[in-house]
Structures are given as C-alpha cells and as structure tokens.
C-alpha cells in the first residue's frame, strides 16, 4: 500500500560516449561514414554534451552513492517500525491463516472481529512468486480490495490497486516504481479518467536523489482534478533525509504550509525510539464582530514520541502524543504458529479509552511448510544450524 527506462547521467555518458548509435566506431565505419563521424566528433555542441555527461558520470561514481529508498518510506523507521498507529485496533480479533507452500508462497487467512470498526469477517488470499505478488480481501459487507505487483526487473516494479465497497465510489490506483543506484522515481495516478475533454483524477510524481552516501533530497508534485469542468489543484513538496546508520532524520515541507520532521534512533540492539513533529499553518473563515466574513490564520502543531522494545518472543511498543493520547501495544509469540496481541490507548483530553485483544493462529498445509514455520529448516529445506531436530 509497492515499482521505464533508466534516465540518469551516468548511463547517459556510457550510452553517448561517443554518442552510441549516432557515431559509429571501429569496423562499423566506412569511408562515407567516416566523414559523418568526423562531423559529429568535431561538432562543438556534441563535444560539450559528451564531455559534460562524462564528467558528471565520473564524479557520481566517485561519490559511492546508494539508493535512498522511496518517497513512500521516507519516515518508515518512525511511522511503521516504532509507532503503533498502523497496528492498533479495538475490540476482539482473531486471525487464522494457512500456508500451503513457501516457494512460491500461497497463503489464505480468515479474520474475525467484534467490538471495533473492522469488518466482522474478512477472507484474504496472497500469492507471491519471484517477480509477481497478488493479494485480495473480501469481507462480509462485500467490500473487495485487490493488489497486484509485477517486477519487470530489479529496478522496475508496476503496481495496481482496486477497491470496491458498497455505497462508495470505486477506487483504482496505478503506480510505477523505478529504483536506480542512487535515485528513485515514482509515478502514480488515482482514479484516472481520460475520456473527457480534460484529465480527471489525481496524479503524483516524485524523485529522491542521493547527494552524498548519507544525505538525499527529493521533490514530490501532485495534481488533483476531481470535479469535472473545474480547474485542478497542484502542489509541491520538498523533502530531505539523512541516514547515519544509528540515527535517521527526515523532513518534508509542503506548499500548503505543512512541515513534518521525524527523528529515529537505534538506542540498543533491542530498542528503537522515534519522534515526529507536524506543523500546520492555514487560513479558516471566521465572522468578525460586525458579522463580516474574513479569513484568520491558524497554526497547529502536534508531536509524537514513541519507543519499541524487541525481545526473542515479544515486541513492546508505546507512544505519547502532545494531543493527550497515550498508546501501548504488546505482541507476544507463544509458539512459532501462535501469537497474542494486546493494544490499549487513552485520550486524556477527551476522557476516552479503547482496548483490543487479538489472536493469531498459523497452520501449515504440509510437513515441509510446518518445519519452516517452526524454524527447523530454511526456505530451501536445509536444516538450520542449532535448531532442534525432529525425531
């Protein structure tokens, strides 16, 4: 909720030095072609382009740059690893899953929930094989969610997402990811409609480029035209990310006046901590004492601090936000195929609270899969050193 040509100046210098395809070399040259080659090599414009491309390529290779990741995972270490916002739930929940094979991976699951906002029942299936990934979910309200990823190669991944829900507008999203050695490109469109006189829907494009082995900068542009016949809206976001191995800092500035900054720290081998701050400046319509409508500037800020403790069979997460919400989550693995989850949160300002208790049961469709789930053998069926052997 994850993917075309490689356009970078490094490859440009390789492909156009000397302008491959335009300047024949070696035995490919004939007498007539030699005159043409002399023209291309003596042309000052092409000499300049070729020299610039070669210089940039050589300089980039000397920097030892790495891929900075994707824009979607800019704050992944804080939002997805430390914070429990994406994992917490309320009420009782039970997830029963069965794995039929590991290579390729084929798994189905049944989810039961009560006392919360989740559907009472949902059936999900997942299939992953090499360059393909397919996942689908159908709940008791006949809401369907499907996802398809296909990797054309190690750099290009195409993604498609479809959601159908009763009483709601269907949603489809198409996405293309390209990850090179030192930059990442992403293009996505939500509910595109090209049938009218103008485009309707949402289009987003982003680039994240490594400047040094630890520092990367990027930009994201979004265009939204949801009302037919109405002009669309556009916005630009500027981002920066610094990765120092033991700690990571990132920031995102949006044209709408929003600033989000995050900091992640590896405190110990089994402990991580993170903090995220969001500043939002906007205008809201208000009425003056003379009952005249006007616009008033509004400034909002919110900060969340969290920590994660990970042990051999348990994971603890806790976070506290400046709006008065304290949350806690415990994931405990009783057996390799049986787990318990407990989550709770309390809102000090609203004087409300919620709790959730979950059970996860995993079963195997064959003895080989069961041995993998119990950590006795690896994905290739080879015994894991130090693992207890079955009689």
**Positions in the chain short of pLDDT 50:** 1-34, 390-391
Rounded to the nearest integer, the mean pLDDT of the chain is 83
- Best CA proximity match to 389, nearest among 276, 374, 94: 374
Beta strands in the chain (DSSP E): 91-102, 105-114, 121-129, 132-139, 144-151, 156-164, 171-179, 183-193, 200-210, 215-225, 233-243, 247-254, 258-268, 271-287, 293-310, 314-321, 325-335, 338-347, 352-364
pLDDT per position as a tens digit, 27-41: 444 444 445 555 566
Query: Given this model, what pLDDT does residue 370 score?
Result: 61
Query: Given this model, what pLDDT does residue 336 score?
Result: 85
Query: Given this model, what pLDDT does residue 379 score?
Result: 57
Query: Given this model, what pLDDT does residue 98 score?
Result: 92
Domain boundaries, the chain: 9-62, 71-373
**Bridge partner list, 92:** 114, 357
CA distances from 174 to 39, 157, 194, 286, 334 (A): 45, 11, 14, 40, 40
Query: Given this model, what pLDDT does residue 386 score?
Result: 59
Query: Given this model, what pLDDT does residue 160 score?
Result: 96
71-373 CATH fold: Porin (2.40.160)
pLDDT per position as a tens digit, 199-256: 888 999 999 999 988 999 999 999 988 877 777 788 899 999 999 989 999 999 987 7
């Amino acid at each position: 909720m994850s993917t075309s040509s490689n356009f970078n100046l490094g490859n440009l210098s390789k492909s156009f030095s000397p302008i491959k395809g335009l300047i024949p070399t070696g035995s490919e040259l004939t007498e007539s072609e030699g005159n043409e080659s002399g023209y291309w090599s003596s042309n000052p414009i092409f000499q300049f382009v070729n020299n610039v491309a070669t210089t940039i390529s050589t300089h980039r290779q000397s920097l030892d740059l790495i891929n900075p990741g994707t824009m979607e995972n800019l704050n992944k270490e804080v939002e997805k690893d430390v914070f429990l916002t994406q994992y917490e739930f309320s009420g009782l929940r039970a997830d029963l899953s069965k794995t039929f094979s590991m290579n390729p991976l084929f798994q189905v699951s049944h989810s039961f929930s009560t006392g919360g906002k989740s559907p009472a029942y949902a059936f999900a299936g997942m299939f992953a094989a090499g360059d393909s990934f397919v996942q689908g979910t159908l709940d008791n309200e006949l809401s369907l969610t499907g996802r398809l990823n296909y990797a054309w190669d190690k750099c290009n991944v195409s993604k498609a997402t479809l959601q159908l829900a009763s009483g709601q507008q269907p949603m489809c999203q198409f996405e293309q990811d390209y990850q090179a050695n030192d930059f990442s490109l992403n293009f996505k469109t939500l509910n595109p409609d090209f049938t009218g006189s103008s485009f309707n829907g949402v289009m987003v494009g982003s680039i994240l480029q490594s400047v040094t082995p630890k520092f990367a900068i990027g930009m994201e542009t979004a265009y939204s035209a949801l009302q037919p016949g109405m002009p669309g809206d556009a916005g630009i976001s500027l981002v920066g990310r610094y990765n120092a191995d033991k700690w990571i800092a990132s920031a995102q500035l949006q044209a709408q006046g929003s600033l989000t900054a995050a900091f992640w720290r590896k405190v110990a081998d089994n402990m991580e901590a993170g903090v995220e701050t969001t500043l939002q400046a906007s205008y809201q319509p208000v009425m003056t004492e003379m009952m005249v409508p006007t616009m008033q500037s509004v400034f909002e800020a919110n900060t969340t601090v969290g920590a994660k403790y990970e042990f051999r069979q348990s994971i603890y997460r806790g976070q506290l936000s400046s709006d008065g919400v304290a949350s806690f989550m415990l994931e405990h693995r009783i057996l390799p195929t049986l787990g318990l989850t407990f989550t709770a949160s309390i809102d000090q300002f609203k004087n409300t609270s919620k709790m959730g208790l979950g059970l996860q049961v995993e079963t195997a469709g064959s003895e080989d899969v069961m041995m993998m789930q119990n950590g006795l053998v690896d994905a290739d069926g080879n015994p894991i050193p130090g693992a207890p052997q079955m009689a």
